[in-house]
Amino acid sequence: EAQVTQNPRYLITVTGKKLTVTCSQNMNHEYMSWYRQDPGLGLRQIYYSMNVEVTDKGDVPEGYKVSRKEKRNFPLILESPSPNQTSLYFCASSRRASGGRETQYFGPGTRLLVL
């Protein structure tokens, strides 16, 4: 089954304790992205990757890191989490297509609480 998976689905942590949220897709997609969703703000893009070893900042990259060493995986790293990073995080992937004519497929989400 074609899917985007994220782990963990729920995470409670404390300020300053490094964490990684994994994202994996089995569709051989070139593009992968991370979003955060906050009430009243919709989805805001954190980072995206157009292919292996190619990443770029989205709208709200501060406090986050990513890496793309393999095509299928795109982990999100919070080196020193803070309470304002409490949010619902979504990973997404899509094929690379000309003109932006491609649909993004979303993972199930990771709900993070930073105390």
Chosen residue from 15, 18, 96, 115 binding another protein by CB under 8 A: 96
* Measured distance CA(1)–CA(58) in Å, rounded: 29
Which of 31, 34, 64, 74 is the binder for another protein (CB under 8 A)?
31
Nearest CA among 101, 91, 112, 102 for reference residue 4: 91
Give the interface segment with another protein, choosing from 14-22, 60-68, 77-85, 94-102 (CB under 8 A).
94-102
DSSP 8-state symbol, 41: T
Q: Which of 83, 96, 82 is nearest to 33 (CA)?
A: 96
Q: Report if residue 69 touches another protein, rule: CB under 8 A.
A: no
The pair of three-digit structure tokens given for residue 36, joined into one six-digit string: 């955060």
Q: Which residues bind another protein (CB under 8 A)?
A: 31, 33, 35, 40-45, 48, 50, 56, 58, 90, 92, 94, 96, 98-104, 106-109
